[in-house]
């Protein structure tokens, strides 16, 4: 049975939304096609009408996750006089740490991407795009090294979230986030 193009596009969007969420929450191996399709309200059999493989889904889901992350970062940047501090407070906050499924794909999927060639290209493009946005939207104390500082901020923030999620001591986790947030604010 053929569906109208608009309905097919809506289904595709639902699949991507759920895949981006579940991959960030459970990783690529932790979220199967059947589970993603069920979360999207579709049957497993409909998957191949939208994607040629799970690798293709991973690629598009990573693109979607970065688009969501960029939207959040840009919203923070437009609603404050200090976009860098707003980013640090949000990114290195408890809500982001506690809700990987809605958060940054770099912290949630970075280690997996390093071992998976399927989504490496959109991941690389996403990181570059976020860095470009940080360079242009954040106030930097030394403009001449803004890109370098953006790389430092992003790398340290991503690493801090990964560590804060990995440790089993809530106070220590909070300490990691606060310490890195305070240190990066000075750049």
pLDDT at 70: 87
Q: Is the pLDDT of residue 49 over 90?
A: no
Across residues 32-43, what is the average pLDDT?
Answer: 93
pLDDT at 18: 95
pLDDT band at 51 (very low <50, low <70, confident <90, very high): very high
Average pLDDT, the chain: 92
Lowest mean pLDDT among 9-18, 50-59, 136-145, 150-159: 136-145
Report CA-CA distances (Å) from 124 to 36, 54, 62, 117, 140: 24, 19, 10, 11, 24
Q: Is the pLDDT of residue 91 over 70?
A: yes
pLDDT at 117: 75
The pLDDT tens digits for 130-178 are 999 999 989 888 888 999 999 999 999 999 999 999 999 999 999 999 9
pLDDT at 1: 54
pLDDT at 5: 66
Q: Give the tokens for residue 107.
A: 């912290």
pLDDT at 2: 63
Highest mean pLDDT among 78-92, 107-121, 145-159: 145-159
* Distance of alpha carbon 24 from alpha carbon 99, whole angstroms: 9
List all residues 6 or more positions away from 14 whose beta carbon is below 8 Å from its beta carbon: 40, 41, 42
Domains and CATH numbers, the chain: 5-185 (1.10.357.10)
pLDDT at 86: 93
């Amino acid at each position: 049975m053929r569906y109208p193009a608009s309905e097919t596009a809506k289904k595709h969007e639902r699949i991507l939304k759920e895949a981006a969420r579940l991959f960030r929450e459970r990783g690529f191996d932790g979220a199967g096609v059947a589970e993603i399709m069920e979360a999207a309200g579709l049957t497993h059999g409909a998957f191949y009408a939208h994607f040629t493989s799970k690798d293709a889904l991973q690629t598009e889901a990573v693109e979607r996750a970065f688009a969501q992350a960029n939207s959040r970062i840009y919203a923070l940047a437009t609603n404050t006089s200090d976009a860098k501090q707003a980013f640090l407070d949000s990114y290195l906050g408890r809500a982001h740490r506690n809700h990987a499924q809605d958060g940054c794909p770099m912290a949630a999927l970075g280690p997996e991407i390093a071992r998976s060639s399927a989504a490496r290209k959109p991941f690389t493009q996403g990181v570059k795009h976020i860095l470009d946005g940080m360079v242009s939207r954040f106030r930097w104390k030394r403009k001449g090294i803004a890109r370098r500082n953006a790389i430092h901020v992003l790398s340290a923030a991503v690493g801090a979230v990964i560590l804060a999620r990995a440790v089993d001591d809530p106070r220590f986790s909070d300490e990691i986030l606060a310490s890195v947030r305070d240190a990066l604010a000075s750049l």
